[in-house]
Structure formats: C-alpha cells, structure tokens
C-alpha cells in the first residue's frame, strides 16, 4: 500500500524530533519517497545532514531559498506529495496553522497545501492540556486534519502524562491508513460553505446516511498535574468498531480518551481526557441514530485533585484522596427522553459472572445491547489484540468465539446494520 507513495515530512522543534529519523527510515524501507522539511526549531535537535542522508533527498529549510524557488517553489512543494506529515507537531506549529500564519517554510506549506495533513503532536503535558492547545486541536480536527497521538508517558522534562509523540511504528500505521483512504484533500473555503472531504466507506452501504457515535479508550482522572487514575484499556476495540461502521457507510463521531492506538481515518475525531469531558462531547455530537459506548470510562474521579504536584513530606504522611462518582454516560444516553438513538450498545468489562453481570447492567442502564467480555488478567483481552465476547440483547445471550478485535468489530457492525 505504501510502495510508491510520496510524503512531505515536516519536522518541528522538540526533543521528539529524533523519532523523525526512525520514521524516515521506516518510510524508506516501505518504499515511500520522503521530502523532508526541517524547521528552525527542529534543526536544534536533529541535523540537516542526518535527515538528508536518511531521506536521500535535499532538506528544505528556508522559505526564501532562491534556488528552491526557481526549481520547486513552495507552492509546488506543498502539492507534490500524496500526504503531508508533521512529526513532531509542536503547540506553536499547531497554533500557526489555526491562525493561518505563514511566516516560515513549514507554516507556509501547511497553508498552501491541497493534500491531506497528518499531525503527530509532541509537547509537555501541561502544554497539551492547556485550553488554547485543546481548542486548536479541535479546530484542526474539524478542518479535516488527521492526528495520531499523543501518547501518555514520561517526558524529557521529567513530568508524566499525555504529550509524548507517537512511536514511529504507530505513525507509519496512521500514514498507511490515511493513504489507504484515497486522495482526499483539505477542505476549501468558498463564499458560501466549507467543502469537506468525502468520508471513506461505500456511499450506498447499509449504514449510509446514518450517524453513529462511538466512544473509545480509557479516561484519565487527574490526581495532580502529573498523576492520574486510569485503566488498561488500549482503545483498540472501540477504534476497530468505528472503522467497521465507517466502512459500512456510516458517518462516525469518534469520541476517544487517551488511547494507545491511533484513531481511524475518515471519521470525526473528538479527543477527551476525563469522563466529564467525554459526557460533554457525546452530548455535543447528538443527535445520532446509533450509539456504541465502547469506552472504559473510569467510575470515579478524585474530588480533591491538586493543582500542583503532590510531594512526599519525608515523614510518612500519605495524601488523602477523596473520590466522587463520574457521570454514567451509557445510562444517560440510554434513558434520554428526547433524541435517544434508535440503538444504544454498551460494553461490559467483567472479571466474574460475565453473563449475569452484563445482563443486569443492560437492564439497569436501559441499553439495547451489551457487549460483554472477561477482562481477567489471564485472558489478556484488555490491552490485547483479541477479544471473546457475549452479546446480550432482549432475546438473551449469544457467545462469540475468541477472534481478533477487528473481526469482532466487523461482526458487530454487520449485526448493527441488520438491526437498523
């Protein structure tokens, strides 16, 4: 799929720029032609010589390079690739694109391109969580820009949280997914409307014209700015469900917590951190014909979360965490008096009496279906690549054999399509 593709790679400024070298190596190994653009900040972390050697191409750095303008101007450069990739995408570069600035080569190329753009954000956790960055991220996603990551982990600055750039292998997968979806371009502004790229999937598929909300991944409930409560959900199953529904022609609003796997291409991606943010995002995405609540939402949040890092006092005194219940998103959607989706599908991750607990959950929440699975550590399902589910409906329970999560998603999507 990647053989013969052309990628314009913009390397932003940040310690994660070193990962761009591995990404170039992987792209070249897959038969991709890479045209590198190195920002001034990026050149502080990787050298033009190393980038050029790996890409086997000249590195572009200067907007006002007269030789480049004579041979391949920035307009042609912005349109000569099949996909534009920004890795790392810094908070500054994202803000420039939102503001329509074009004061260096990278921002000018992003403003001038007519090709799809994939960004891999990388920044300090507080920068990523800042309201300005979140607004910029949401704006870019609405404008049709694709994202992979960021991931959670330890930062070069010593803090821990979301903001680590996705690993090169993940970015490569996201690039392949973006290229697989075809030559969609960025939306063009006209005097009357925004023309958005067509979503992939069969135009006349069984879910064509249907709007589906899919929630996915874990939620992160802050303890302090560097710690949080979460679970081991990777988001793989919810991501696969969103892709399968997309492939049946549905318009998918994908509300995802900080998952380990990249969001699927061709869907509207709404990224959240906490259960409260997920509840708000789902409400904003309504109305919908179908809701698939696959997210592993934390049941509780820390009511007395600190606005600064909690320190050990050296005397053995332990912090006291006060917990409060998070909103029950599945129950709220299932019990809407107005605007309830025709079909509401919930998920139940259980460690014992799977069918009994899931059946009780369906009745208690008011969902139409419950997809139940055993997530005991011995199963390897939570965070793994396979799943073994029991589908609970008003007609009873149906056991599905263990299979890859993509196959589970396809079978569930087909079942949903038949029910509509």
Question: How many other CB atoms are there within 10 angstroms of residue 283's CB atom?
Answer: 13
CB 350 within 8 A of CB 387: no
Beta bridge partners of 93: none
Please identify which of the residues 157, 169, 194, 399 carries the catalytic annotation: 157
Is 328 known to sit in a ligand binding site? yes
Q: Is 327 annotated as a binding residue?
A: yes
Work out whether strand 323-325 and strand 300-302 pair parallel, antiparallel, or are unpaired: antiparallel
Q: Phi/psi at 304 (nearest 5 deg)?
A: -110, 40
Active site residue 237: no
3-class DSSP state of 135: helix
Residues with Cβ within 8 Å of 391's Cβ and at least 6 positions away in sequence, in order, are 369, 370, 371, 372, 397, 398, 400, 412, 415
How far apart are alpha carbons 120 and 108 in whole angstroms? Answer: 18
3-state secondary structure of 297: coil
105 is in an annotated binding site: no
Output the DSSP codes for 271-294.
E-SSHHHHHHHHHHH---SEEEE-
330 is in an annotated binding site: yes
Residues 279, 285, 288, 292, Cα dihedral to 10°: -50
365 marked ligand binding residue:
yes
Residue 329 known to bind ligand: yes
Question: What sign does the CA torsion over 49, 50, 56, 58 have?
Answer: negative
Q: Which residues contact 318 (CB under 8 A, 6 or more apart)?
A: none
| CB contact burial 146-171 (16+ within 10 A = b; e otherwise) | bbbbbbbeebeeeebbbbbbbbbebb
Distance between CA atoms of 238 and 263, rounded to whole angstroms?
A: 9
Q: What 3-state DSSP class applies to 383?
A: coil
3-state SS assignment for residue 302: strand
Helices 48-55 and 17-29, axial angle in degrees (round to 10):
10
Query: Annotated binding residue at 347?
Result: yes
Q: How far is CA 235 from CA 214, 215, 257, in A?
A: 11, 9, 8
> Which residues line the annotated binding site for CTP?
299, 309, 327-330, 347, 361, 365
List, by residue number, the catalytic residues. Answer: 157
Which residues are annotated binding-site positions?
Answer: 299, 309, 327-330, 347, 361, 365
């Amino acid at each position: 799929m990647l053989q013969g593709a052309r990628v314009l790679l913009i390397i932003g400024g940040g310690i994660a720029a070193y990962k761009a070298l591995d990404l170039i190596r992987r792209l070249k190994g897959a038969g991709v032609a890479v045209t590198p653009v190195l920002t001034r900040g990026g050149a502080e972390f990787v050298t033009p010589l190393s980038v050029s050697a790996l890409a086997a191409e000249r590195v572009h750095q200067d907007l006002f390079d007269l030789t480049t303008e004579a041979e391949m101007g920035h307009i042609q450069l912005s349109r000569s690739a099949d996909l534009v990739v920004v890795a790392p995408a810094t908070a500054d570069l994202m803000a420039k694109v939102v503001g329509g600035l074009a004061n260096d080569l990278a921002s000018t190329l992003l403003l001038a391109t007519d090709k799809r753009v994939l960004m891999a954000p990388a920044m300090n956790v507080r920068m990523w969580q800042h309201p300005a960055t979140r607004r910029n991220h949401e704006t870019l996603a609405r404008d049709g820009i694709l994202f992979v990551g960021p991931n959670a982990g330890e930062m070069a600055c010593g803090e821990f949280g979301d903001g680590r750039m996705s690993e090169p292998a993940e970015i490569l997968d996201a690039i392949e997914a973006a290229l697989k979806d075809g030559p969609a371009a960025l939306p063009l502004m006209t005097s009357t409307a925004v023309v958005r790229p067509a979503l992939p999937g069969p135009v006349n598929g069984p879910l064509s014209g249907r709007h589906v909300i899919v929630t996915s991944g874990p939620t992160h409930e802050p303890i302090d700015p560097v710690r949080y409560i979460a679970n081991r959900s990777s988001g793989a199953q919810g991501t696969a469900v969103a892709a399968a529904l997309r492939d049946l022609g549905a318009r998918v609003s994908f509300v995802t917590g900080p998952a380990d796997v990249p969001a699927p291409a061709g869907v509207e991606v709404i990224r959240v951190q906490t259960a409260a943010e997920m509840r708000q995002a789902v409400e904003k995405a309504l109305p919908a014909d179908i809701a698939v609540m696959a997210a592993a939402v934390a049941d509780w949040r820390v009511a007395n979360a600190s606005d600064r890092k909690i320190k050990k006092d050296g005397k053995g005194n332990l912090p006291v965490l006060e917990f409060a219940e998070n909103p029950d998103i599945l129950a709220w959607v299932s019990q809407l008096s107005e605007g309830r989706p025709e079909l509401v599908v919930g998920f139940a991750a259980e460690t014992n009496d799977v069918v009994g607990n899931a059946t009780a959950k369906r009745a208690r929440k008011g969902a139409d279906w419950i997809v139940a699975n055993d997530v005991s550590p011995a199963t390897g399902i939570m965070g793994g690549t396979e799943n073994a589910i029991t589908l609970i409906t008003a007609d009873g329970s149906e056991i599905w054999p263990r299979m890859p999560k993509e196959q589970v998603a396809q079978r569930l999507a087909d079942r949903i399509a038949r029910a509509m």
